[in-house]
């Protein structure tokens, strides 16, 4: 993909009240399937009903995906923090990498439990980029 075609949107949002582990797992499977079909990649960090999400891919697909998922049954109180081009994908090959901060009962959905993937996240957070800084701050402030 040419650099000018690669786009990124970062949002912070809330999940539906009373989200169960089973429902979260279903939503994750559905989101990954949809993103894979549209060649979208990214990361979501979840903590106590709050999500920080990065979606990267072709501009029109990224914008449409964010618009379509801003619904009461998926994401509410959506605030866009970043909406710009990217020089490269941060999460190539990951339609929706998921990091769980809290609650502990949701940690089985966390993709970053394996040492290799923990290093991948660590490298992303060390990037000198606005998007990485947003995610570092969210993690620090939601532990």
What is the 3-class SS of 84-113, one letter each residue? EECCCCCCCCCCCEEEEEECHHHHHHCHHH
Q: What is the mean pLDDT of the chain?
A: 91
Check if the beta carbon of residue 109 is closer than 8 Å to that of residue 24.
yes
Instruction: For residue 116, name the pLDDT band (cuts at 50, 70, 90).
Output: confident
Q: What is the mean pLDDT of residues 112-137?
A: 94
pLDDT at 1 (0 to 100):
43
| Rg of the Cα atoms in the chain | 14
pLDDT band at 49 (very low <50, low <70, confident <90, very high): confident
The predicted pLDDT at position 4 comes to: 59
| CATH code matching the domain that covers 3-134, chosen among 3.30.300.20, 3.20.20.105, 3.30.200.100, 3.30.70.100 | 3.30.70.100
CA gap 11, 77 in Å, rounded:
10
């Amino acid at each position: 993909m040419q650099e000018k075609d690669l786009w990124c949107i970062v949002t912070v949002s809330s999940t539906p009240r009373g989200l169960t582990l089973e429902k979260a797992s279903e939503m994750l499977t559905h989101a990954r399937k949809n993103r894979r079909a549209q060649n979208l990649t990214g990361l979501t960090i979840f903590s106590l009903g709050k999500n920080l999400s990065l979606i990267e891919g072709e501009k029109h697909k990224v914008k449409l995906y964010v618009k379509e998922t801003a619904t009461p049954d998926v994401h509410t109180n959506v605030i866009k923090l970043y909406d710009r081009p990217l020089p490269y994908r941060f999460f190539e090959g990951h339609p929706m990498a998921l990091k769980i901060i809290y609650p502990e009962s949701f940690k089985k959905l966390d993709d970053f439990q394996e040492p290799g993937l923990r290093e991948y996240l660590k490298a992303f957070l060390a990037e000198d980029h606005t998007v990485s800084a947003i995610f570092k701050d969210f993690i620090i402030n939601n532990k």
